[in-house]
Chains A and B, each alone.
Chain A
């Protein structure tokens, strides 16, 4: 079984969805540094995706330093990588702007957005707290 939660949404990039699910679960601490990451083959079979897509996902995660390839062992989870220059600005300006525009379009108020952000934040933190108890 693939050790992260993922229900593929048809019509959207499978690569993006799997990469997001994997990084989310590493950040939430469900997947801990040093743990084995599924092989390309296991990923492909469990998620019913093409092995080449699974391969691309693993290569991308290695390149972005979420995973490390350990010869003879396979791929293991790394310490979550440090942010690159510009990541902070991109998040706080561009992504937040997108969220706010979308909220206005849909008609969701500021407090609702703040609450939803806080809830999601504590959900992921909560997962991390539970995961680190084990």
Chain B
């Protein structure tokens, strides 16, 4: 594992920001940390980057305990976040001169290529950059030394679609040689290249899983019943957010294993039915899980 945490907890005063968090980010993955605002994504990333220290539990990054991460380790870790401080008075050219001197593994050819690709104006001072340009400059600064691990905190938020595409393109160019941890709201943008997802809510991990497995077991199910019935009680395993109106039943199946199994399950509860199952985009999976958790806090 490139990143591993066991039972990590963090409080701010009385507020429990992170509880009992155990994550594992495999080498070579694009690991997406997903959750609503306030779920604890940024806190998690700051704990991993040794900007904050856990109150309980252990975290290791590239094999080093997070509390011991030093400048040396950050030569192999690229970190980009919206709230990063930059030397605002420097021109971009000077900024990259400065970064180049910091990293032994800096690849000047890659730097040049990315700067051209992102159309970053060398003489512009950092304080005069647009939000999009700022994020692109940060990304060049994190990619050009070819880190073993890239950690990106909301790299796409606030960017227009054109810049998002550019940033994604820049990431994918490096994705074969690195591990990427990315927190994001923009699920549709990252779905196609994510390999693993972790959902967080209220400081807890709801799940972490390979995206193909996750997509294989989730279905949006529409059923037409032959007779009006109530929902079975207790609810069958893995049915999320069921609603029944007249002859129509809708729910999200979270343990789907093929149409025939589900059909038999439905027939067992309702007799003859017709059903339609559709695969769900990541955004729909995340929404259904999080709403389910909101309505059933204990489960």
Q: Which residues of A contact B (CB under 8 A)?
A: 8-15, 40-41, 44-45, 47-53, 55, 105
Contact = CB atoms under 8 A, between A and B. Distances in A.
By Cβ-Cβ distance, the 8 closest A-B pairs, closest first, are A11-B279, A10-B281, A51-B176, A50-B193, A48-B192, A11-B280, A11-B281, A12-B279
Nearest to A44: B172
25 contacts: A10-B188, A10-B192, A10-B279, A11-B218, A11-B279, A12-B279, A13-B212, A13-B215, A14-B192, A15-B212, A41-B176, A44-B172, A44-B175, A44-B193, A48-B169, A50-B193, A50-B194, A50-B195, A51-B175, A51-B176, A52-B176, A52-B195, A53-B193, A55-B176, A105-B274
B168 interface: yes
Contacts of A47: 192
Nearest to B188: A10
B28 interface: yes
Given A49-B193, A50-B193, A50-B195, A11 B172 contact: no
B290 interface: no
Interface in B260-299: 274, 278-285
Among B191, B195, B280, residue most surrounded by chain A Cβ atoms (within 10 Å): B191
A10 B175 contact: no
Contacts of B284: 11
B92 to A, nearest CB: 25
B279 A8 contact: no
B281 A50 contact: no
B192 A11 contact: no
Interface string B214-253: 0110100000000000000000000000000000000000
B30 interface: yes
B21 to A, nearest CB: 25
Contact of B173 (A45, A52, A53): A45
Interface string B162-183: 0000001100110110000000
Nearest to B281: A10
A40 to B, nearest CB: 8
A130 to B, nearest CB: 30
Interface string B89-126: 00000000000000000000000000000000000000
A8 B281 CA distance: 11
A9 B279 contact: yes
Nearest to A14: B192
A97 B285 CA distance: 31
Interface in B133-172: 168-169, 172
Contacts of B30: 50
Contacts of B28: 52
Given A10-B188, A105-B274, A48 B168 contact: yes
Nearest to A55: B176
B210 to A, nearest CB: 11
